[in-house]
Amino acid sequence: MDIDEFRATLQGVEPPANLGMALHALWWDRQGDWERAHECVQANESDPASVWVHAYLHRKEGDLSNAAYWYRRAGQPVATGKLDAEWESITESLLAG
């Protein structure tokens, strides 16, 4: 699946079942359901992809110190660009495997 196909799934009511929880979180985030997105990643703290999305979600929430913690855990630099660009970058990276 590529990013355009992923975006097309946003017309549905649930994320595709064959995607991992980190991508489910990004799907719910794009639907405007931060809490549900956070639940997806919080339940998978041993998964590096979920840890990275967890960082993004806390940055989006405005909790920058907590976000920095999760970026460190994910081994990713702290993002400073636009949130939409970060969402797209993470989504593309995770879809590419």
Q: Alpha helices of the chain — where are they, by DSSP H?
A: 3-9, 21-30, 34-42, 48-61, 64-74, 83-96
What pLDDT score does 30 carry? 98
Predicted confidence (pLDDT) per residue in 5-36, tens digit: 999 999 999 999 999 999 999 999 999 999 99
The whole-chain average pLDDT of the chain stands at: 97
Predicted confidence (pLDDT) per residue in 32-67, tens digit: 999 999 999 999 999 999 999 999 999 999 999 999
Q: How many helices (H) and strands (E) does the chain have?
A: 6, 0
What pLDDT score does 20 carry? 96
Type of residue numbered 20: G
**What is the spatial distance between Cα 61 and Cα 29, in angstroms, rounded to a whole number?**
11
What pLDDT score does 24 carry? 98
Here the tokens at position 84 are: 């939409």
Question: Is the pTM for the entire model greater than 0.85?
Answer: yes
**What is the spatial distance between Cα 62 and Cα 49, in angstroms, rounded to a whole number?**
20
pLDDT band at 69 (very low <50, low <70, confident <90, very high): very high
